[in-house]
Structure 1
């Protein structure tokens, strides 16, 4: 064998596998993470399915820095990718960089749970929490951590939907919401080219319509709720105050009630920007404070109250919520606790309903349309962007009204 032929053979068998970050950022500012395969001086790249900020990449060590929340998982994934590429190179005779990539694509580029983890990490706290819950349910059902997108078929979705209802005890509405979260993840994968649009399993999946579960109090139940004897200044007493304040101020959401400060009250009016839409619409909502709501505020207004103090002692005024995620996590925790106390109040009042804080909004909408009889006014009070949203919101309460109308006519 001549020196030249030996040198040539070494070149043919020369493979290197290196992790690298795409120099061009995506629209959200993150950079795609690739495995670069070099063979015979030719370079090919395979997308790992992950994007990270440039500051979280160590260009010297070719690893994800500890500053990135999922750095362990991503670095482990890079090691797995390199190991897979090395195995393919050894097992496939005459393998080139293209051949190695073709063998790898099916296994890693369409890994559902790996992609879902990355997707979840980039979402706002509430979205992240909700999607994570549904992905974990799906993982429990599938029992296959290495599931790829093409393994998820329309029949898979139907059997999973049935499992959610029969095994997990989810309502039809809850099961539908769970599937919609999975559809969001799959939709993003399609946008990023990891799954062909024609292979979307949701194209052939039709959810059964579920009537929204809008629990609210009747006028009689509301009076019973108000009349329950509770120890003053107890947590359960405060809970009722929060709920009634939300009801009297046209169904203010818990996330808003939690964050209201005394500076939001000016000249007998409550003015605030809704947290639910603050990233889209910065419009301030203002409403006159009814005397019933003002009576509740009297319990919390102190001589030394400052404008920046919270209206209610739901969140700690001494704690600095440095990140939005930290704040939302605390709001979620307090919401769960208050919903628990609301159920206790209903039990004491003899109200057989699974009341939640959001029920204050439903109660206002239902009792409001009975007394006001002006959908436009109710729409504005509920802060709906379009009147048809209010109409759809109210139509779920119509059965009782039509039944009463017939009773009045023929009863």
Structure 2
């Protein structure tokens, strides 16, 4: 499979009226042409026989040297691809273009963030936007101007500098503290993902230029806050005035706990149609689209009755957190939410985030009232359920099934169908009092 390299002049002038010199790659009589850095004012300045710039062009020596170097580069790239057994004119063209394309990595990251917003992936878009903001801070000079960052500048050394910058960056919410190591890891994970996409999909970098092949990092193990059964009882025993915000937020937290830790986003969007006549709750998790089907214990049913109205419709939200008449409320199932326009998804996401923040604010007050010296949030209901279940001797297998974990290392171990009868017995054992 012979491959040849030659120069030729483009017969058609570009917009500026100049004629571009092309590198022609031929393999099995098939041609691929790549633009070189040289353009001529006149066709007559090109020697078709010798495949070089004529002496009639004042810069002919410099330009012929440049063409020679571009030819050598293409031939070296060909040999490298040949060693990997993937040499084709198309592949060679992609590699050569990738090595020359002057692309701003910062703009590339911002473009990817916008793509996530446009496709409705608001959760990840927020993370990417945070990464872009931190990268801009890293690239800001003493005059307050943000310098650009090209792909060619991204080396293991630069990534390490960015890592050190993040490790010393002040936390916006708590200026007396620096970023948590796991927050730093999240930002570096996004950095690595963008580089991988640039290499494998957009061909903006060569594989061997990936800085994360050399730079390694990891976060730290953190102990998740969780409540034990005694602390749960303290919250239950609080005397709170009915229909006040703090009273509602306790109900929300306990309902999540009694339902094996429903995540805030799923809880806020629960509708009466998610509750069956045989006292089960069934819904599709927004995070991983897995379906949870759980038997409701009496404590959860009692909380539901506090919110049931005579005129409640099956499509109404159970808890008074979202507007039943809002434009996003028309999407009832998770599959319908998935196809909402991005601006409506964004509106729904912002509403959920706002309500979650309010709930967490009152949960911190509840902890103070109950004398619990822990940083309680809505998600703690999920960890607390797992802790109490473990305390009562429930097997890890069943707990993971009830929680609906979707991590790869978990799901590989639980590939079979979930046995709901075993899960039902667990819920009865946990809340039989």
Q: Which residue of 2 aligns with 1:125?
A: 122
Is 1:16 the counterpart of 2:15? The answer is yes
Q: Which residue of 2 aligns with 1:228?
A: 238
Q: Which residue of 1 aligns with 2:358?
A: 337
**What TM-score does the superposition give when structure 2 sets the normalisation length?**
0.64
Q: 1:154 aligns with which of 137, 153, 156?
A: 156
Is 1:326 the counterpart of 2:347? The answer is yes
Q: Measure the CA separation in 1 of the matches of 2:347 and 2:374.
A: 31
Moved more, 261-270 or 215-224: 215-224
**Structure 1 residue 163, shift from structure 2 partner:** 2.7
Give yes or no for contact 2:98–2:204 (8 Å, CA) kept in 1: no
Q: Measure the CA separation in 2 of the matches of 1:356 and 1:289.
A: 22
Structure 1, unaligned stretches of length 5 or more?
1-10, 18-37, 45-84, 393-411
Matches within 5 A, 1:1-400: 15-16=14-15, 39-40=18-19, 109-123=102-116, 124-143=121-140, 144-168=146-170, 169-191=178-200, 192-266=202-276, 267-278=278-289, 281=290, 284-321=291-328, 323-385=344-406, 388-389=409-410
Give yes or no for contact 1:131–1:182 (8 Å, CA) kept in 2: no
Aligned length: 315
Query: Kindly tell me: are residues 276 and 320 of structure 1, through their superposed partners in 2, closer, same or farther at Cα, counting changes over 3 Å?
Result: same
Query: Kindly tell me: are residues 154 and 213 of structure 1, through their superposed partners in 2, closer, same or farther at Cα, counting changes over 3 Å?
Result: farther
Give CA-to-partner distance per residue, 1:336-363, whole Å, 9 cap, x none. 2222222222222222222221111111
**What TM-score does the superposition give when structure 1 sets the normalisation length?**
0.68
Query: Kindly tell me: are residues 93 and 226 of structure 1, through their superposed partners in 2, closer, same or farther at Cα, counting changes over 3 Å?
Result: farther
Give CA-to-partner distance per residue, 1:24-47, whole Å, 9 cap, x none. xxxxxxxxxxxxxx7427899xxx
Q: Measure the CA separation in 1 of the matches of 2:235 and 2:131.
A: 34
Give CA-to-partner distance per residue, 1:154-174, whole Å, 9 cap, x none. 233233223323332111111
**Structure 1 residue 225, shift from structure 2 partner:** 2.5
Give yes or no for contact 1:164–1:175 (8 Å, CA) kept in 2: yes
**Structure 1 residue 317, shift from structure 2 partner:** 1.1
Give CA-to-partner distance per residue, 1:206-262, whole Å, 9 cap, x none. 223411442211222222222333332122221221111111100111111011100
Q: Measure the CA separation in 1 of the matches of 2:22 and 2:241.
A: 73
Give yes or no for contact 2:98–2:206 (8 Å, CA) kept in 1: no
